[in-house]
Structure 1
Amino acid sequence: MARSINRPRPNSSNTGMRLIGYLVAAPLVLLLLPLLPVIVLLWIGGKLTAS
Structure 2
Amino acid sequence: MIQIGLVALLLVLLLHRRAERLMPRVREWMNFHSRVVDVAACLIFVALIL
Decide: shared fold, TM above 0.5: no
Higher helix share: 2
Higher relative contact order (CA closer than 8 Å, sequence separation 6+): 2
Q: Between Structure 1 and Structure 2, whose CA radius of gyration is higher? A: 1
TM, length-normalised to structure 2: 0.37
TM, length-normalised to structure 1: 0.37
